[in-house]
Structure 1
Amino acid sequence: MQSSSHAAGGAALPVPRLAGHFASLEVQNHAARLGMWLFLATEILLFAGLFICYGVYRFLFPEAWAAASRSLDLTLGTVNTVVLITSSLTAALAVHYAKEGKNKMVAVQIGLTLVMAVGFLVIKYFEYHHKFEIGTLPGRFYSYEGIQLPGVPLYFTVYFCATALHGIHVVIGMIVLAFSMVRALKKADFGPNNYTMVELGSMYWHLVDLVWIFLFPMLYLV
């Protein structure tokens, strides 16, 4: 069943399709948002396990973890933080324009978000490449002669697990947002009554941003 709505000038406003098991579009949108919040809660629990591991080993090997943290490239980490926070702004603007029915601007803002996401991953690639070159790798693969302290290989195990898992979420977020961008360009049906798809994608992207805001000081500033 397709709902319909009209603007003051008589033009039809884009509205989403109402699924048969929902009483109204309001209930349907509320259920979608609730489902996303529950999903995001499970994602936070996933990262919480890594945060706990970090806290335990940071307590057991404080000197080693401080030394290992200083070996990271703070400049690249800071740039990546600025890039990701800015991408959250453009993702939020995409929701704003979707509510106003400005589909081209929705696509532009999501496109900017995706460009910054690619930039984030490229910077992370260079960080990874450098670590592979000098041997600051997880566990038994650690071979860097510059820091030889008990617990340092554990630091890089947590570092790679946390940043790789976060990177996977960045890629997933890019895919979700890309679908919204394609829809904005092809169908141009986002509007005041139909913006949930963009909103949910933006919520997921804010989670990606939030997790990095925790990872950056934990890994680079200890």
Structure 2
Amino acid sequence: MIRSEGRPAEPFVAWAQQREAARLGMWLFLAGEAMMFGSLILVAWFYRLQHPDGVAEAVAGLHFGLATLNTFILLTSSLLMTLALTASEQASERRLRYCLMGATLLAALFLACKGLEYSLEYREGLLPGFAADSPLHLPSARLFMNLYFIATALHSVHVLIAVGLGLWLYLGFARGRLQGHQASTRLEMVTLYWHLVDGIWVLLFPTLYLVGR
């Protein structure tokens, strides 16, 4: 059990120092993730300028309605993570657990909707590498679908990690294993990661689903 009156980990001498170090490490990690997805987004926008007809053909086959629903789901989960952090600061354990579970379930629902979207695209022959005859006629459209699949699959892996972190936090708080300074620090770090995942989707959604529509 982690107690609030316990000592910080070596080599830190104060909880505030350990928390600032954790924040710095997390921000460096998030910056690396942002640069990776930022490169994919820049490539997508450049490709749109070079091959507008191919991108328009590919985007027309994507399921805009499911993607819009997923955007709402993921933003709501991010809001619940923020409310969980607020509940932690106010020492409201029951509200904290409810918000954590809600955010985790919504993130899992996002993955389920994305899986449904992939299954529809598979049946329609749109997913690259899974169909012998693609309904897309332009080579540039098929290439854009490669970019779409790489970006969304990579993002889904990040959402899956967020689901695992959400469950870990929920079980830790529910069983009393997470308490005090380390508990609040871990919750803050997971919340920052959650916001990054949501922020990336907010940029991917218009880049992949709206550009050329």
Q: Which runs of 5+ in 2 are unaligned?
A: none
> C-alpha distance in 2, partners of 1:165/1:55?
18
The alpha-carbon distance between structure 1 residues 99 and 192, as it changes in their structure 2 partners (threshold 3 A), is: farther
Q: Which amino acid aligns with 2:78?
A: S
Q: Which amino acid aligns with 1:102?
A: S
Structure 1 residue 39: Cα displacement = 0.5
- Percent identity reads 36
The alpha-carbon distance between structure 1 residues 67 and 211, as it changes in their structure 2 partners (threshold 3 A), is: same
Alignment of 1:170 with 2:149, yes or no, is: no
Write out the 4+ residue segments of structure 1 that deviate beyond 6 Å after TM superposition.
none
| TM-score of the pair, normalised by structure 1 | 0.87
Structure 1 residue 140: Cα displacement = 8.7
Q: How much is the aligned-residue C-alpha RMSD, in angstroms? A: 2.0
Q: Which of residues 165, 174, 185 is equivalent to 2:174? A: 185
Structure 1 residue 54: Cα displacement = 1.3
The alpha-carbon distance between structure 1 residues 43 and 209, as it changes in their structure 2 partners (threshold 3 A), is: same
Give the structure 2 partner of residue 39 of structure 1.
Answer: 29
Q: Which of residues 55, 63, 84 is equivalent to 2:53? A: 63
SS in 2 for 1:22: coil
> C-alpha distance in 2, partners of 1:137/1:175?
27
> C-alpha distance in 2, partners of 1:193/1:163?
33
SS in 1 for 2:121: helix
| TM-score of the pair, normalised by structure 2 | 0.91
The alpha-carbon distance between structure 1 residues 129 and 194, as it changes in their structure 2 partners (threshold 3 A), is: closer
> C-alpha distance in 2, partners of 1:69/1:142?
20
> C-alpha distance in 2, partners of 1:21/1:78?
46
> C-alpha distance in 2, partners of 1:139/1:95?
42
Residue pairs, 1:118-197, within 5 angstroms: 118-138=108-128, 141=131, 143-145=133-135, 147-187=136-176, 189-190=178-179, 194-197=183-186
> C-alpha distance in 2, partners of 1:78/1:191?
38
Q: Which of residues 59, 65, 68 is equivalent to 1:78? A: 68
Contact 1:138 1:157 in 2 (8 A): yes
Contact 1:136 1:142 in 2 (8 A): no
Q: Which amino acid aligns with 2:196?
A: L
Alignment of 1:93 with 2:122, yes or no, is: no
The alpha-carbon distance between structure 1 residues 193 and 115, as it changes in their structure 2 partners (threshold 3 A), is: closer
Contact 1:177 1:198 in 2 (8 A): no
